[in-house]
Structure 1
């Protein structure tokens, strides 16, 4: 089946084909026909299975080839990275028509986003906080929204966005077409759907024989020591066939420290975490997608926005908080039908947390094997060359510079100059009996200077030199006799 078989307009079919997207995924084949008819949908599928085009293509097509200026479609996402990713996919879909897409999220200046809204953008992709901010300033109107999509709805609940989402729904028309997509469907999400959707159809695009984890991802779990993890990761990054790799850390500080460590070891690493500015986060993501960096260290805040098809490895530096976080982390690999490897490190203190995840996902690894950077099974499990070390670039030593000894010469005056090229200063102390010419001894030591003949350089008449009377040791100077 092709997108043409799903009655998608030819201009969008051509746009997708330009990126090598020809055949739709199961979630797309099931949702697109219903969404084109205006049916409210709850779409459930694992990450990396094409949910964005599942709602994006019908959304764009229902607006028409040349829609009127003004916001007519709203896509709400939980994170900034996901806002960028979804807006890029929708820009691809609209590349052959006049429809305009704008991404609205925090961490960026208002001016550019407001300018795009005023220019008549028809599709808005944004995070709840910035959307409500602009709506509160009357810079964004949602009264004409015809299609509203909630993407990654379960993450909205995790981040506490439910009240904001309800406010956004309240600002739109009750006759809107609503679609809700998520990888997991907890009870509060279902309750939200019942409140704001009109007889939605729940579509699950999962293989019932597949289990809770994706079949095309191989899961490897090790009990590792925290002081040895960097060394283990460095060896994994040298595995045969290793492509782009995402390493998830629990804290922002750990992410920053790890990117410095891997960079020092010679790997092309970048970081994405909450302490970075939005511009820096976007630069890191762009360099990772472009292949300039092939290792991305991230906290969970970026997990939903890493939509890169050629990620071969995901490494959990620490155990995720629960099974949902685990699924979303490892879902960064094995995307678009490709295979992937997920490696998880379990600290001794986190064995109980791993036991809960293992039981919930039915992974069958209750006691991870103890593993170190020198363990033979590490190399065999992950196809790591036996001679791989923890560093691919030697730290350059400070170059030793031989300083040639300077030739010692004696000048005409008998003095030996040092290494400096400056002439040696005359340290002769001036006294009242010195000659009028500086540096020349007087003919008679102790002779008095002729009155009116002294100047600073000893040449010609000039100012009278003040006579200084030496202060006797331990006493005060004797005042000069009265004239």
Structure 2
């Protein structure tokens, strides 16, 4: 297929694509189109930045049939409110010339406003599992007419602990429906859910799970501590080539800490998003980044998941993620749409195992870079680093070989302690008790 015109789309949908300037489908859009249009269940595996959203929206909207019912016919579940806003935006763009009402629902806002919108009628709902389940349990959101269930970022939904909400939502829907599932990686949790709740979905895979994007240059620095990481980060961000970058950290506390330290020199150039920030703050931060009002964005994996932000020149892993698949997702934020990019990772003492897991997953080593001479290597440790170092030293001491006298004592103790409930032990234990009772009786007799 050479273009979207070969998909034989409806006039309204084709006109919308023309308005957006989309003429040629991406590989995942080509692969998924005919399979989704067949009505079969689909499991799509594709790296981020490959056009997954349009890969499921275009065929689903092509097959959409108007009804007078006020209840939704299409349900799209995503992990975060930011992704709800993004996917809803794509739906609205594609349905510009179609008689379709769409609605985004998520927590953190007035639920009554969402209830009112649902009562007025809606064809497509894009939502987070928690708020969708709440509205369904209240009897406001009817799911029994949904004939197409789409779950985007399936692996991340399960990683965030949404499995109970998902299974509850499944139980409220009719069994005869088409399930369209998209995921960046195929994890064990995803595989288990497919086996338990879906009927042999056909897999559409653009690349094997965990395959790195070859256009991305991957580099790693071995650094001794947090402060040296920070010194290197400040050094790199002063370079001209760092025009549009994402800085990934593993949790909210680290995000705040890195932002506070960078704000001393780069406050006008960076923003931060994580789940403790208000919805408006997060949306404004993402907008500022998308519109290049700021150069950098510090974020956790949860917040950045699925966000469509183009032309990112560098991804910086301030720390390695706990799951190696997450690393693949992070670096995939750059090198999108056939363009090159750079992924730079900082590897501290506690990152070593996570780094090894990533390299095993990719079946390749990440290129190691020398620390620039102008970067100060700090000897100052933060409180949590001192604690980690102390625990490591204790662990090493426990494994350290002891002297002969200690070994003899240990061997003797081992014989006694690990002998089990033998007759000898029982007899000894019993004789000790009898002697104790005898002594107590003698003392009592003297007093009397």
TM-score between both structures, scaled by the size of structure 1: 0.72
1:181 Cα deviation from its structure 2 partner: 0.9
Residue 370 (structure 1) shift = 4.9
The residue that corresponds to 1:421 in the other structure is none
SS of the equivalent of 1:140 reads coil
Between the aligned partners of 1:290 and 1:116, the Cα distance in structure 2 is 30
Q: CA deviation at 1:4?
A: 1.5
Matched-pair contact (CA < 8 Å) for 2:48–2:332: yes
Secondary structure of the structure 2 residue equivalent to 1:222: strand
The residue number in structure 1 matching 2:290 is 289
Look up the match of 1:92: 93
Equivalent position of 1:148 in the other structure: 149
Give, in whole Å, the separation in 1 of the partners of 2:187 and 2:306. 21
Which secondary structure state, in structure 1, belongs to the residue aligned with residue 283 of structure 2? helix
Q: Which residue of 2 aligns with 1:324?
A: 325
Q: CA deviation at 1:69?
A: 3.3
Pairing 1:40–2:41 present: yes
Matched, 1:134 2:135: yes
Shift of 1:365: 3.3
Separation of aligned partners in 2, 1:335 and 1:273: 23
Count of aligned pairs? 373
1:142 and 1:171 in contact (8 A); partners too: yes
**Structure 2 CA distance for aligned equivalents of residues 372 and 348 of structure 1:** 19
> What is the alpha-carbon distance in structure 2 between the residues aligned to residue 67 and residue 358 of structure 1?
54
Instruction: Give 2:179's aligned residue.
Output: 178
Q: Which position in structure 1 is the counterpart of 2:250?
A: 250
Give the equivalent residue in structure 1 for 2:226.
Answer: 226
Cα distance change of structure 1 residues 211 and 163 upon mapping to structure 2, 3 Å threshold: closer
How far has the Cα of 1:372 moved from its partner? 4.7
Q: CA deviation at 1:43?
A: 0.8
Residues 313 and 20 (structure 1), Cα distance of their counterparts in 2 relative to 1, 3 Å cut: farther
TM-aligned CA distance change 1:283 to 1:139, over 3 Å: same
CA contact (8 A) 1:148 1:176 kept: yes
Q: CA deviation at 1:31?
A: 0.9
Question: If each structure's helix is expressed as a fraction of its own residues, which one has the higher value?
Answer: 2
Query: Is the 8 Å Cα contact of residues 71 and 145 (structure 1) preserved in structure 2?
Result: yes
Match of 2:109 in 1: 108
Q: Shift in Å at residue 341 of structure 1? A: 0.9
Shift of 1:337: 2.1
* Change over 3 Å in CA distance of 1:15–1:243 after alignment to 2: farther
Q: Deviations over 1:223-277 (max 9, x none)?
A: 1242133332233234344332110112312212333333331442111112211
Change in CA separation of 1:211 and 1:250 when aligned onto 2, cut-off 3 Å: closer
Counterpart position of 1:261: 261
Distance (whole Å) between structure 1 residues aligned to residue 341 and residue 44 of structure 2: 24
Alignment RMSD: 2.3
Matches within 5 A, 1:368-379: 368-372=368-372, 374=374
| TM-score, reference length from structure 2 | 0.78
Instruction: Tell me which moved more, 262-271 or 314-323.
Output: 262-271
State the partner residue of 2:278: 277
Distance 1:153 1:312, change over 3 A: same
Greater relative CO, 1 or 2 (CA 8 Å, sep 6+): 2
**Change over 3 Å in CA distance of 1:69–1:63 after alignment to 2:** farther
Mark the CA change 1:91 to 1:124 in structure 2 (over 3 Å): closer, same or farther. same
SS in 2 for 1:4: helix
Q: Identify the residue that residue 118 of structure 2 maps to in structure 1.
A: 117
- For residues 151 and 258 of structure 1, what CA distance do their matches in structure 2 show? 30
Q: Is the 8 A contact 1:67 1:98 kept in 2?
A: no
Is 187-196 or 241-250 further displaced after alignment? 187-196
* 1:416 aligned residue: none
Confirm or deny: 8 A CA contact 2:81 2:128 kept in the other structure.
yes
Q: 1:336 to 1:109 in 2, by over 3 A?
A: farther
Q: CA deviation at 1:139?
A: 1.5
Q: 1:144 to 1:187 in 2, by over 3 A?
A: same
